[in-house]
Chain A
Amino acid sequence: MEKTSKKRKKTFTRRAFLKGLGGSAAGTALASKFLRRGLAAPPQEMEAAPVHSQKTVTFSVNGRTVSLEVEPRETLLDVLRQKLNLTGTKKTCDRGECGSCTVLLDGQPVYSCLYPAIRVEGKTVTTIEGLAYGDELHPVQQAFIDKDGYQCGFCTPGFIMSSVALLNRNQKPTFPEIKTALSGNLCRCGNYVKIYEAVRTASERMRKA
């Protein structure tokens, strides 16, 4: 089932990665793997799911290398949420209109809902779960808390990823540059003004640090 790719040899195995992810993630993902193989007894009916062609892709997520099977119709967003249990990345429109699903792909912000999972081979993905160093939040995350750069919190991961991408390429963005960089993210609660403040605060703190 898990074909060995050239790249995979020097990386973690999927199983090792899942162990690292922790109990709940591993539980979900392993369960589906076993069920697909028909190893687990109940529920039997799972074996009968429609079969689609799959391809193994190997890529890095939040500093760990994963290798897993994806269908050509699956988006990176669905793979992150459903197969890796990284549910911090949100689905709002599922068609590239809102930015809730923004992740960093080789450092660039992309809409993961429009990105075919089969194209992620060999790339580096950073999601909202991968920003903090243990308990220490990324300065952008901390600034969103301090400036109340959110309301319901649903679009927040996407905004934070876009903001991080901006500050990675431009340490001292002007106000119009902040607005433009965030123009691909929608906040329906309408807290943009507070989000600008958060990004400006993070920018100042990162330059001082």
Chain B
Amino acid sequence: MKEHEIVDDLNLAYLEEARGKKAQGKDVPAEAGEDFKLIGQPTARIDGRLIVTGRAKFTNDLTLMNMLHAKILRSPFASAEIVSMDLSQAQNLPGVKAVIKLKEGRVKYEGEQVAAVAAISEKTAEEALQLIKVDYKILPHVVRPEKAVEEGAPQIHDSANVEKFNEYSRGDVDKGFAEAEVVLERTYKTAVEIHQTAETHASIAKLDEDRLTVWDSTQAAFSVRDGLARTLGIPTSKVRVIKTYMGGGFGSKLGLNEHTVVAARLAKETGRPVKIVLNRRENSLCVGNRPSTSITIKGGAKKDGTLVCLSMKNYTCGGVGRGDRCSEPLIDIYKCPNVKVEEYTVYTNTGASRPTRAPGHVQGTFALEGFLDELADELGLDPLELRRKNYSSANQGETGIPYSSKGLNKCYELGAAKIGWERRNKKPGEGGGKIRRGLGVASQIWWGAGVPGTLADIKIHRDGSVEVICGTQDIGCGTRTYIATIAAETLGLKPEDIAVKIGDTVYPWAPSSGGSQTTPSVAPAVRDAALKAAERLKQLVSTTLNIPASRIVLAGKKLFDKENPDVSVTFQDAAKELRREAVFHGERSDLPAGFAYNSFGAHFAEVEVDTETGQIRVAKVVAVHDVGRVINRLTAESQVVGGITQGVSTALFEERLIDDNTGQMVNPNLQGYKISTSMDIPEIVPIFVDLIDPRINNLGTKGLGEPPRIPISAAVANAVYNAIGIHLREIPMTPDKVLKALQGKEANS
């Protein structure tokens, strides 16, 4: 038996055992979930009616009494010194209530905030911005990382433009290269991407005496609360953040934004609530982006495909902010004894980076998986075989500990069968004709184990109605629905019977919704609370029915004797036994030590490349994921579909364009900044391996936000390589790049 099979089988054996026990009528551990009726099924969202009737309220849909509207004046220059600023004309415009300075001295990127206005309407605030007179002294700028690294380039911060932020090594790469029979070195590049959330960022701030309430379009209510308290110097206990509906974040709404602080300051200045809504241009310039990368991988292998060494150098540009750490996939996913990593941020005069759905992993996976395909060709191996050859059952990073569960082999197996892997070109580019077809694969690793200590309460009223209360936020993944599903499953009710209250910092603590951690944090906490409630109800009913609590089952809105189902009480009557409304506190437990908790997946892409126009069409994507237990199959599929659509967009279209001479972005809109439309979407087949992790939490579930976003761009690039025989090594793979590569290939042949 191969080593990797042991880990996969570990969990399958566990499930087999649970199923065997069930067949024999024995008690099955709850976490095996063999009796689940709702969890794991497709469930339509409980708040669907609100969304499809336009009644779901997003931050910009809210209006408070006496509310003012704020706008921010932003630097038009990439680098300049503010010599003077005159606010008087703006202050004198009728309808303007406050004008404040936000910046003195040097501005370092286009879109940096300079001043702000609060007025009685958005249009008045906009007019006022035009009346603020700022005298700038324009300074030299640099917006392109290739130029920022040059000697004599304008310096962005006090330190050098290039800054090392990560290094890692294990084994001895020099020894590895000496042992290697094949060595390859390749450089892969990714462009700056903008989140371009459908709903632009928005906040409303309201001050009552010394208490601040903020409605925010955020992925992280608690983090915004803490940030506001820190920035404004007020106690956390006096800040409340409410998140209603939010129109997409993808990382750009993780944590406190500058404009939210501006709204709070203006609310204080004017004594009235202040709303601020950014426009599309601001969203393009100054709420974050995915840093570009230039990643060079040098690796060596034995002729049979055994990896012996991998070294990686990453130059990543996050504007005035940090670059992304992209080395995790290379460090972790494949077995390789000798690894060395160096990562550098390159600073430029552009807006700061921000986490962007699977930060670092998208770029790092594009480079690593592209490199593996080029290595496979060099070795004359099937790219999938090369990956299997270097399969690892233990996390290869610093921990070296085994994965709690890993279903990647199963992903390879199911995906290859579904896409018809044998149809690929055995030699990249061997097919002919105007339209070339190709298949590509890429693997995925991510964390997403969830955060221990996440809290959720279940409240049972005397009339038998049930609430789940948790401070988490639904950022579009269906959080409300799975909360209701889990509570309903455990209490024998229906999802629509459960009132879900989330998105408010007065509720029990939950982590930020980023990094695929919401479900594996919140779901177990809700399950824990519900199990406690169920236990209490069983005990109460046990006295009434005069049977042991262990024989009582909750299902069909009843509590009944599993040996004699006619002996029962309704859930409603059982709730009366609680005597008063009762709250049950749930908490997400600690992660058992000694194991690495990761999610895995493999994407298989099929593409068509038009050799005359250079256009790439992604025809089909099979996405297979190991995310532990799937709680809601309907919304889980949507996560996968969305991740792939965004990843296809990254692979083919998305790029922030900045004019070198002016330092200004030329596509701060949705016309020039191309994202996938309905015309660009492949057939998508989501598959889950349903490998329930026995340790990760009481539901065996892992996060799914990031995983489907990670391998897709790499899989598409590898499929293009398989189609035309050239790895473009650069995304987005626009038609000009494809045609240039094809011409180069012709010239060489």
Show the binding face of A for B, using Cβ within 8 Å: 28, 43, 45-46, 48-50, 73, 81, 85-95, 97-98, 100, 127-129, 131-132, 137, 141-142, 144-146, 148, 150-157, 160, 178-180, 182-183, 185-196
Contact = CB atoms under 8 A, between A and B. Distances in A.
Nearest to B198: A154
A197 B634 CA distance: 12
A190 B54 contact: no
A27 B97 CA distance: 23
Interface residues of B, number: 64
Contacts of B604: none
A128 B679 CA distance: 24
B199 A137 contact: no
Interface of A is mostly: loop
Interface of B: 44-45, 48-49, 51-58, 60-61, 63, 66, 93-95, 97, 120-121, 123-124, 127, 196-200, 245-248, 250, 272, 279-280, 475-478, 634-635, 637-639, 641-646, 649, 669-671, 675-679, 681, 684
B82 to A, nearest CB: 27
Contacts of A45: 95, 97, 120
Contacts of B197: 152, 188
B245 A87 contact: no
B502 to A, nearest CB: 15
B305 to A, nearest CB: 35
Contacts of B124: 49-50
A190 B649 contact: yes
B149 to A, nearest CB: 33
B645 A192 contact: yes
Contacts of A73: 123
A71 B127 CA distance: 15
Given A95-B280, A160-B52, A185-B678, A146 B645 contact: no
Contacts of A46: 95, 120
A40 B634 CA distance: 51
Given A45-B97, A156-B51, A190 B646 contact: yes
A190 B250 CA distance: 12
A148 B635 contact: yes
A103 B744 CA distance: 49
A50 B93 contact: yes
Contacts of A178: 678
A65 to B, nearest CB: 20
Kindly list the 6 A-B residue pairs having the minimum CB-CB distance in the complex, ordered from nearest: A88-B54, A190-B645, A154-B247, A152-B476, A145-B48, A128-B54
B350 to A, nearest CB: 21
A169 to B, nearest CB: 17
Contacts of A193: 641, 645, 681, 684
Nearest to B51: A153
A171 to B, nearest CB: 20
A48 B93 CA distance: 9
A92 B198 contact: yes
B462 to A, nearest CB: 28
Given A49-B124, A90-B198, A191-B638, A183 B677 contact: yes
Given A50-B94, A145-B49, A152 B678 contact: no
* Central interface residue in B45, B54, B641, by most chain A CB within 10 Å: B54
Contacts of A98: 198, 670
Contacts of A194: 637-638, 641
A155 B245 CA distance: 12
Contacts of B645: 187, 190-193
Given A45-B120, A183-B679, A50 B51 contact: no
Nearest to A154: B247
7 contacts: A87-B57, A88-B54, A92-B247, A95-B671, A154-B58, A180-B679, A185-B678
Contacts of B52: 128, 137, 141-142, 144-145, 150, 156-157, 160
Contacts of B670: 92-93, 97-98, 186
Contacts of B477: 151
B63 A154 contact: no
Given A94-B279, A185-B678, A190-B645, A152 B54 contact: no
A162 to B, nearest CB: 10
Contacts of B53: 88, 128-129, 131-132, 137, 141
Contact of B476 (A49, A151, A192): A151
Nearest to B56: A153
